[in-house]
Amino acid sequence: MTKSGIIRAGIGGWTFDPWEGTFYPEKLAKKKQLDYASRQLTAIEVNGTYYSSQKPATFAKWASEVPEGFIFSLKASRYCTNRKILAEAGPSIEKFLTQGIAELGSHLGPILWQFMATKKFEPEDFEAFLALLPKTLDGLPLRHVVEPRHASFQSPEFIEMLGRYNVAAVCADHHEYPMFADPTSDFVYARLQKGTDDVSTCYPPDEIDTWARRFETFAQGGTPADLPMIAKDRTAEKQPRDVFAFFITGGKVNAPRGACELQARLKPVRQG
């Protein structure tokens, strides 16, 4: 076991017109964008899988275009999470998982289960949902991360529940949604959403420095002292943790630059 987990930095998707000629070289063909992006960054969060299914051949094609060690995080179908009774999501979860995502092979990263901001924490129903999430798929280990966006989830009971299932919650740096910084799994998943197009690095450099230090602490098994913990009396297991950090939403024009800046600061940690 290494002393530190692997820290990856990335963006949401790889197709965005303002990135052409800024992040991407001038006149780079769209069909070459994933190839290019995957060699500048170490992870991409795919949003399209939230809205519609893909074909197995599509996932296989993505996997063939990226280098070893590159990871795709997939946002799970909205039909799995946008429902009144989560315990009834089993068929939708199975449909999502069996659409062909196993074709990604070793490039398959965490699966993000995102909930509407109006969805409140109902402990029994939410635990029933967690119990539906399989640990493997066609021999591939699965990692699950949930993103609740209602304040009722800011409960020690929720944190303890995630720990029992080895599921992470999104550490969201957002102006409105709650942040879940308590480590509950063997990985941490951060979505940095307070960037701005007015800052060339998406986040100001000093804030990127701060997040880099926090991610180093998480990766080495610790808990950043400057992030709020919900279950204050809970002691998280001290173990190396992989970290996935995405510059999402705010400051999207400069998100690739932000991810590159963060990645440069974390290079020594990524190498162990």
- Dig out the tokens for 93 from the structure: 């979860």
- Do strands 71-75 and 43-46 pair parallel, antiparallel, or not at all (unpaired)? parallel
Give the domain extent around 211: 7-270
Residue 111 belongs to some domain of the structure: yes
> What does the pLDDT read at residue 250?
87
> What does the pLDDT read at residue 267?
61
Over the range 88-106, which residues count as b (16 or more CB within 10 Å of their CB) and which as e? ebeebbeebbebebbbbee
Residue 2 belongs to some domain of the structure: no
Specify the pTM: 0.95
Residue 228 belongs to some domain of the structure: yes
Residue 116 belongs to some domain of the structure: yes
How does pLDDT run along the chain (272 residues), one tens digit per residue?
457 899 999 999 999 999 999 999 999 999 999 999 999 999 999 999 999 999 999 999 999 999 999 999 999 999 999 999 999 999 999 999 999 999 999 999 999 999 999 999 999 999 999 999 999 999 999 999 999 999 999 999 999 999 999 999 999 999 999 999 999 999 999 999 999 999 999 999 999 999 999 999 999 999 999 999 999 999 888 899 999 999 998 899 999 999 999 999 986 544 33
**Residue in 128, 122, 180 with CA at minimum distance from that of residue 149:** 180
CB 207 within 8 A of CB 215: no
Residue 167 belongs to some domain of the structure: yes
- The CATH number assigned to the domain holding 49 equals 3.20.20.410
Q: Dump strand ranges (E) for 98-177.
A: 108-114, 136-137, 140-141, 144-147, 168-169, 171-173
Residue 1 belongs to some domain of the structure: no
Overall domain count for the chain: 1
List CB contacts of 75: < 8 A, sequence separation 6 or more: 45, 46, 47, 49, 50, 111, 112, 114
What CA–CA distance (Å, rounded) separates 9 from 128? Answer: 32
Residue 137 belongs to some domain of the structure: yes
What CA–CA distance (Å, rounded) separates 58 from 88? Answer: 28
Over the range 252-269, which residues count as b (16 or more CB within 10 Å of their CB) and which as e? bbbbbbbbbbbbebbeeb
- Dig out the tokens for 71 from the structure: 């990871």
